[in-house]
Structure formats: C-alpha cells, structure tokens
C-alpha cells in the first residue's frame, strides 16, 4: 500500500494556508481568471457527492489555469437565507441564524478538507447584515428605476410552505420545494420588472458560451412571439377590449371572442340573464388549483350575453369567458378562429359556435381538414382573398391601424418576477407604508433594515415579521408620522442574483462594489453549477447585471461568459440518491479511507462530467490503485537517481517515451480545458504505463531524461490530485510548490514519427497493415499498399478502379 492518506492532505492544507499560496494577487488583475462555482446552501448535512463533483472537479480546472499563468480568483460563500433553516427551526426550536452559522462553520471545515484553492478572505454569507444591506440597496435602486413595483395579481400560493412562489418555482403545478399542489390567490405582492429586459435577455444569449440546451430553455422561457393587438368594441357599451394575435390573417374567420374569467370587463358587460352563470363559473375557476387546471383537458366556458363588433365587418360576435384564455398572457382576451386554431376549434365544436374557413393550403395535395393551422392563401376574406397569410397579416393590421384599431406588437411568455415571500428567514424589504405619504422607500442611509432576532416564526400564512411589533412600528422617513414596515421578505433568489458582483469586494462598507474594480474583475470567466437553475438563478442574474448596467453601476452586459453544468452522480443502483431509497453515498467514509484526492480523482475519471452517472465502489478502488502505482514509480525514480550512472543518449526507447509524454501533455491540456476529465486522467494512466514500460524494457536507462518525464507526470497530475502531487513533488527533491510550476507545453516535433503504420483496405475492409515513412509521397504509399502481401488475393481477377490515400491513416483500394 502507498503512503497517501488524509495525513498527507492535512500536511499540505496547512502548508498552503501558512504560505498563503492561493491568496489572490490584486496587482495581477490583468491576468485574472474569475472561476466561480454556484455557492451552496449551508444545510445541516455534510458536503454531499454533488458538492464535491461541482467544487472539487472545477477546482482542478482552475488549478491547471493557475499553472498556465492565470491569476485565478476562486471565491466561496454561502447562500444562507432560505426555507430549510426556518422549517428546521419550527421543528426543533433552534433559531435559523444559529443553525445556519453552525452549518457554515462545518461546511467551511469540509471545504478546506477538499483542498480547494478558495481564497477565504473573500468569503461572504447572504444572511449577514453586511451583505443583505446591499441586497436591500439593490431593491431600492430597482424601485427608483421603476423596476420594482407592487401589484395585486393572481399568484401561486403554496399551502405547505405558507408563502407565494415565483412562476419559475412551480413545477407541474406543484411547489418545487415540497411538491404540494400550488393554488392561486389574489394577493398584493412585490415584483421585479424582468419583462422590461425580455428582448435583450433573448438576443444576448447568442453571444454566450453556454450549453446550447440551457440557452434553448431560456429562449423558450422568454417566449417571444410577434403579432398584433386588435381592438374590438362591445356592442351597446362604451367599452372596448384588445386581443393579441399572431394570426391577424385569420381575422375574417373570427366567429366569437373569449375573455379570461378574471378579465376586468366581465362584470361590466355581462347581461343580467347570464349574471348567475358567469359568476358561478368565475368562482369555480378561482377555486381550481394549478394542478386541476393542467390535468383538465376538456374545455369549459360561459357566454356573457354580450356581443362585440367585428372590426372589419361589423358582424356581431358573442363574447364568452373561458379558462383556456389566461389572464396573465397578452391582453387576457383572444379572438377565436375555430377554423384555424385547435383550441378554438375544440371549443366551438363543444358549444356549437360557427366555424368559417378563411385560409386554404397554398399547394394542392396537402391535408386541408379543419382546424387548419398552417399558413396558406386567404379565402372568404373579401378584398384580402388570394393573399398569402404572411402578406395578409401585414395588410390587415396596417388597414386597421389607420383607424386606430390595431398595432403590431411583440409579446413574451416571460412574466415579471414575484420576489416577496411571507416568511421570516430572508432579507426584509426596505419599504415603509405611511398613512400620509403612502409607499415610502427606506433611505439608503438607514440600511440595513435589520431582520429582528426574536420573532414568532410559526407559519400561518401571515408574514412572521408582522407579529414583531418593534419591527413593524416605525416612523415615516418622509413625514415622521407613525408608519408600518413591509413585513414580507425577499426571495432568496434575489440574494443570489448579484453575489458574484460582491465577491471581488466583499467587505466594502461604502458601496456594494467598486465600479472600477468590478469592471476589471467581471464578467465571471467560468461558471459551473447545476442545470436546474437554467430559468431561475441564471436568468435573474442576467437581469440584475443588465439593470445595474443601465443604472450606471457597471459596464458589462452579461455576468457569466462561459457556463458548464455538471451532471448528476446517481446512487450505485442507477437511481437518484435519496434517503428513502437508501442509496446515498456520503464522501466522508471514502475520504477517510482513501484521502480526498482519490475521491476527487474518481469523480473525474469515472464519469463524463456533463452527464454524471452511477457511483461505483470498484471505480474508486481503481483510482486508489492508480495513485499507489504512481507513488511506486516515484520511489523507483528516487532510487534510480540515487544509483546514478546510466546513459545520456536519446535512442529508440527514449523517443517512444518522449512521444507518449508529449502526446499526454497535449491531450491532458485539451481535455481538461473542455472539462473532459475522464480522458485527461486516462492519459495520465497511459503516461504512467509508458514510464513503467521504459523502466522494464530498457536495460541501460537515460536517468536524467527519465527524471524529466517523471517531473512532468507530477506536474500534469497536480491539478487532479493536488495533495498527493505536492507530496510526490517534494519526494522527488523538488522545491515547493508544484503549483508554482509552469504547466508543461507539448513539443510538436516529439509527436512527429518517422515511420507510421497504415491500414490498407480493399473495398472498405481492412486486409493488411503497412509501415511507411511518415513523409512518404502519396504515390509511394499507393505503390506499397498495392504491393502489400495480404491484399494480393483480393486484387486477382479484378481491376483497381481507384485508390484513396489518407496520409498517416488509411489506404482504400476500390476494385470491381
């Protein structure tokens, strides 16, 4: 057995700390590389495999970059506000602040055991007043800019968590946190106007070096759709309403219109006879949970008794309400064209409403049964007959625009971000309600609005802060009269939407960050974290960056230049790890047994990083064996050097070893750069195998050369097994630290072979192999291939039609 263990880990952790090896040198900011992993929630449990996979493996990438000469900035902090701490408190009585602080201390300890290059001088924690003061400041800046506002709206309510949720936090109609059904409630809540940036958030995606899948998810989430608003007058009322449509070309096919049940016009226009039915329907819809709504496929709706006037023909169109029209999208009203829309068609069939075709397929032979939703050529549309859908859209909207009845318009699926939460453990919203002055922002000089410690935080649907008398009662910052504080707290996603901006300057008490400094340090060059944040954190952070840019606080457009998502490590049974399945792999035991580098290196070697996969007990043992194998060779090297002697010439054996050496340097550098750690490690194994082969096969060794290659092996291994490599580096008699060594660069000349083996195919099947000079001409290769012994039988009695020569790889002889 080798000597590597947690003892070696500790030795080097202490040395690194004492010598401040990883301390960020601000004077080298021109060489900076900001490498960031998504910070973690300080839960009571210890670091899990996922943390290691994210932080440990990314740290190896950052270490390589350091050796390549970058000044790496890799901070670590804690996303410390949030529901779990509060729920834990409700269960056990331990205050969220106390449990969070204890958890942070434990996690720090464990992160240090991992051996990451984190510079703890830059640590931050979102639940500290030092930090959330500036979260509140952010809120105020957005408020002043009109990007934070309060409104009453139907919002998602989780009965179990006793709070509202953002759209992004509702998954299949259920709370993302507790899986309980989400219901809709009309509540007055705070929103951030992320929709203001919808277009830029969409456009700028093209420039980002992000996984295509993630960009696609954001594109879809933003959901740009180009169309027009068309206004309909209500017959017999001084009222009108506007619909949004992407198919203005089908306007002549509109046979009725539908308002969302919550549409404000409904009360006004409903006829007395329909009153009861309409109200009953509205109540029923309001009662429905999101889940009911998703699972009901059958269309429902009620006639209001009122009619609208078709804007082109003046024809009477019945006005219905139905819950397939959403209050929160577009204008909350649609023109129904059953002939050319599946939903309208279904509804019209069920309620026996007229269906009029106004588009037919542009070419014959196309299935034209109704509903026909493709573009085509207009019919039954008077002066517009014969136009294509595309042309008709333009023409019809332009026509109506002249009389102020339509305009072109773009809509987005993205909704504004609901940020208030009826919970205790979050940043208080810095707003005061004054009976005289109304909604008043807390002056910046009075920040932070501190979260009081002694609060009754049992959830009952009211914000816990509402019960803290000392907190609630205050005086109005404007007029001084008695006033009340906002008692909701901010969604924790608000805290994490700007933490990467605070990291380079985390203790600044004057401003959230220094503009000049941040412009040098940002954007983050490499951001690594889970894919589950695609439409939440990653979208919010982009929004914050853009808003702060427009407010003049920073000068860049995007926060994260390059993004990588790690995969998920599954349990040994191939399922997601969960306590109930009993397949949870916890790092601690393995680290105690094998040392942290073996654990880290297995995570790099055993999986495709992006994909993840099932944990394997045998896999980690294989890595432990490899580490031992390297150590044995290092000891052998020390012995050889002590013996002295040997030759100094570079012969066949040396050339072969040198080839593998430079091939490894090239491959490891390229692979690790691409986060392909599994192949990088396998190349380390190949280099190790080559060293053994050389030692076994060469009777007379070039010890100086062998020593050079061995040093390279340790340099190349250092990012992936940092503690072990330091130890080996020292054992080889080299000076501290291997991480101050330059990363090896490959010599292209060493990769040029004099003789190469090529496969010879006849009609695509390999029949022989030939050895030719690497610089042989195509004619020479062709001649040698045609003369190859084992291809002869295949050339008899046929004629050679063609010979394809791919230099250094293959020859294909086509016969027939």
Q: What number of CA atoms fall less than 13 Å from residue 800's CA on the CB side?
A: 19
Identity of the residue, 10 or 177, whose beta carbon is nearer to RNA in the bound complex: 177
Listed in sequence order, the residues at least 6 apart from 796 whose beta carbon sits closer than 8 Å to its beta carbon are none
Please tell me whether residue 216 binds RNA under the rule CB under 7 A: yes
Q: Tell me which residues in 153-212 interact with RNA (CB under 7 A).
A: 171-172, 212
Identity of the residue, 745 or 757, whose beta carbon is nearer to RNA in the bound complex: 757
Q: Tell me which residues in 58-87 interact with RNA (CB under 7 A).
A: none
Please tell me whether residue 296 binds RNA under the rule CB under 7 A: yes
Q: Tell me which residues in 220-259 interact with RNA (CB under 7 A).
A: 220-221, 223, 225, 227, 244-247
Identity of the residue, 433 or 633, whose beta carbon is nearer to RNA in the bound complex: 633
Q: Which residue has the tokens 């009993």?
A: 582
Identity of the residue, 14 or 179, whose beta carbon is nearer to RNA in the bound complex: 179
Please tell me whether residue 329 binds RNA under the rule CB under 7 A: yes
Report how far apart, in Å, the C-alpha atoms of 715 and of each of 171, 725, 727 are.
Answer: 46, 8, 12
Residue of the chain from 10, 629, 636, 641 that contacts RNA (CB under 7 A): 629
Please tell me whether residue 664 binds RNA under the rule CB under 7 A: no
Please tell me whether residue 771 binds RNA under the rule CB under 7 A: no
Q: Tell me which residues in 425-454 interact with RNA (CB under 7 A).
A: none
DSSP string across 413-465: S--PEE-EES-SSSPBP-EEEETTTEEEEPPGGG---PPPSS-----SSS-GG
Q: Given the rule CB under 7 A, which of 88-96, 479-487, 712-720, 751-759 is the region that contacts RNA?
A: 751-759
DSSP string across 472-494: HEEE-TTT-SEEEE---EE-HHH
Beta bridge partners of residue 419, listed in sequence order: none
Report how far apart, in Å, the C-alpha atoms of 545 and of each of 160, 494, 528, 550, 560 are.
Answer: 33, 12, 18, 9, 10
Residue of the chain from 452, 477, 614, 646 that contacts RNA (CB under 7 A): 614
Per-residue binder mask for RNA (CB under 7 A), 507-536, x = binder: ------------------------xx--x-
Please tell me whether residue 613 binds RNA under the rule CB under 7 A: yes
Residue 309's nearest CA partner among 248, 368, 381, 236 is 236
Count of beta carbons in the 10 Å neighbourhood of residue 481: 11
Least separation, in Å, of the C-beta of 734 and RNA?
24
Residues that contact RNA, how many (by CB under 7 A): 84
Q: Tell me which residues in 120-149 interact with RNA (CB under 7 A).
A: none
Residue 223's nearest CA partner among 195, 190, 204, 242 is 195
Q: Which alpha helices (H) appear in 488-644, and where do they start and end?
A: 492-495, 499-502, 515-521, 537-550, 587-594, 596-605, 617-643
Which two tokens mark 25?
A: 């040198």
Listed in sequence order, the residues at least 6 apart from 388 whose beta carbon sits closer than 8 Å to its beta carbon are 362, 375, 376, 377, 378
Q: Given the rule CB under 7 A, which of 119-127, 356-364, 428-436, 612-620 is the region that contacts RNA?
A: 612-620
Please tell me whether residue 361 binds RNA under the rule CB under 7 A: no
Please tell me whether residue 663 binds RNA under the rule CB under 7 A: no
- Strand 377-378 relative to strand 359-360: parallel, antiparallel, unpaired? antiparallel
Identity of the residue, 91 or 802, whose beta carbon is nearer to RNA in the bound complex: 802
Identity of the residue, 407 or 484, whose beta carbon is nearer to RNA in the bound complex: 407
DSSP structure class, residue 388: B
Count of beta carbons in the 10 Å neighbourhood of residue 382: 10
Q: Tell me which residues in 548-607 interact with RNA (CB under 7 A).
A: 605-607
Q: Tell me which residues in 667-706 interact with RNA (CB under 7 A).
A: 676, 678-679, 681-682, 685-686, 689, 692-693, 696
Asked if residues 220 and 573 have their Cβ atoms less than 8 Å apart, the reply is no
Least separation, in Å, of the C-beta of 359 and RNA?
14
Please tell me whether residue 325 binds RNA under the rule CB under 7 A: yes
Please tell me whether residue 217 binds RNA under the rule CB under 7 A: yes
Please tell me whether residue 800 binds RNA under the rule CB under 7 A: no
Please tell me whether residue 714 binds RNA under the rule CB under 7 A: no
Please tell me whether residue 782 binds RNA under the rule CB under 7 A: no
């Amino acid at each position: 057995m080798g000597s590597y263990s947690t003892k070696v880990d500790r030795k080097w952790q202490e040395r690194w700390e004492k010598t401040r090896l990883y301390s960020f040198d601000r004077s080298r900011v021109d060489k900076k590389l900001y490498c960031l992993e998504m910070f973690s929630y300080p839960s009571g449990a210890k670091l899990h495999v996922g943390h290691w996979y994210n932080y440990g493996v990314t740290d190896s990438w950052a270490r390589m970059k350091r050796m390549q000469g970058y000044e790496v900035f890799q901070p670590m902090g804690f996303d410390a506000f949030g529901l779990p701490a509060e729920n834990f408190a409700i269960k056990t009585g331990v205050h969220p602040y106390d449990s969070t602080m204890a958890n942070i201390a434990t996690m720090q300890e464990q992160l240090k055991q991992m051996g990451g290059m984190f510079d703890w001088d830059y640590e931050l924690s979102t639940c500290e007043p030092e930090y959330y003061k500036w979260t509140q400041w952010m809120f105020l800046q957005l408020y002043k800019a009109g990007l934070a506002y309060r409104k009453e709206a139907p919002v998602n309510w989780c009965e179990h968590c006793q709070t509202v949720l953002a759209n992004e936090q509702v998954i299949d109609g259920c709370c993302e946190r507790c899986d309980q059904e989400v219901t809709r409630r009309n509540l007055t809540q705070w929103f951030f106007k992320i929709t203001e940036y919808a277009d830029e958030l969409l456009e700028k995606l093209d420039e980002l070096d992000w996984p295509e899948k993630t960009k696609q998810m954001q594109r879809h989430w933003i959901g740009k759709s180009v169309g027009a608003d068309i206004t309909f007058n209500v017959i017999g009322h001084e009222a009108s309403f506007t619909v949004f449509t992407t198919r203005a070309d089908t306007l002549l096919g509109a046979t009725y219109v539908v308002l969302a049940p919550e549409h404000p016009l409904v009360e006004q226009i409903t006829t007395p006879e329909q009153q009861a039915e309409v109200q009953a329907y509205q109540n029923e819809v309001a009662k429905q949970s999101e889940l009911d709504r998703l699972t009901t496929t059958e269309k429902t709706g009620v006639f209001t008794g009122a009619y609208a006037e078709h804007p082109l023909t003046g024809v009477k169109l019945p006005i219905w309400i139905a819950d397939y029209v959403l209050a929160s999208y577009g204008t909350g009203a649609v023109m129904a064209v059953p002939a050319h829309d599946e939903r309208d068609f279904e509804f019209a069939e069920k309620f026996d409403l007229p269906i009029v075709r106004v588009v037919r397929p542009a070419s014959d032979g196309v299935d034209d049964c109704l509903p026909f939703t493709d573009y085509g050529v207009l019919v039954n549309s008077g002066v517009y007959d014969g136009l294509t859908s595309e042309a008709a859209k333009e023409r019809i909207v332009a026509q109506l625009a002249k009389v102020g009845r339509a305009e072109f318009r773009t809509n987005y699926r993205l909704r504004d971000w609901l940020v208030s939460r009826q919970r205790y453990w979050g940043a208080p919203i810095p707003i005061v309600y004054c009976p005289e002055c109304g909604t008043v922002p807390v002056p910046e000089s009075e920040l932070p609005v501190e979260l009081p410690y002694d609060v009754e935080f049992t959830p009952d649907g009211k914000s816990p802060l509402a019960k803290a008398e000392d907190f609630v009662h205050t005086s109005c910052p404007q007029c001084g009269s008695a006033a009340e504080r906002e008692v909701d707290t901010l969604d924790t996603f608000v805290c994490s939407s700007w933490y990467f901006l605070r990291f380079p300057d985390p203790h600044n008490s004057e401003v959230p960050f220094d503009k000049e400094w941040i412009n040098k340090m940002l954007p983050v060059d490499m951001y690594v974290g889970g894919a589950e944040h695609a439409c939440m954190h990653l979208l919010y952070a982009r929004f914050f960056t853009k808003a702060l840019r427009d407010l003049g606080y920073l000068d860049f457009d995007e926060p994260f230049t390059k993004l990588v998502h790690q995969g998920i490590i599954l349990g040994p049974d191939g399922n997601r790890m969960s306590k109930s399945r009993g397949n949870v792999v916890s790092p601690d035991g393995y680290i105690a047994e094998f040392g942290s580098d073996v654990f880290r290196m297995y995570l790099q070697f055993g999986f495709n990083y992006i994909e993840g996969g099932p944990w394997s007990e045998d896999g980690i043992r294989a890595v432990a064996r490899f580490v031992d194998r390297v150590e044995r060779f290092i000891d052998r090297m020390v012995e050889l050097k002590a013996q002295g002697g040997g030759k100094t010439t570079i012969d066949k054996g040396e050339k072969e070893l040198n080839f593998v050496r430079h091939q490894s340097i090239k491959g490891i550098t390229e692979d690790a750069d691409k986060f392909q750690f599994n192949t990088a490690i396998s190349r380390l194994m190949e280099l190790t195998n080559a060293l053994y082969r050389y030692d076994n096969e060469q009777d007379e060794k070039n010890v100086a050369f062998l020593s050079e290659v061995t040093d390279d092996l340790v340099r190349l291994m250092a990012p992936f097994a940092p503690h072990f490599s330091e130890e080996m580096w020292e054992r080889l008699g080299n000076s501290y630290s291997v991480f101050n060594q330059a990363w090896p660069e490959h010599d292209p000349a060493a990769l040029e072979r004099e003789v190469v083996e090529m496969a010879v195919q006849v009609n695509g099947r390999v029949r022989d192999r030939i050895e030719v000079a690497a610089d042989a001409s195509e004619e020479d290769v062709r001649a040698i291939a045609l003369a190859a012994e084992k291809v002869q039988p295949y050339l008899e009695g046929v004629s050679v039609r063609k010979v394809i020569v791919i230099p250094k790889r293959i020859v294909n002889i086509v016969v027939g």
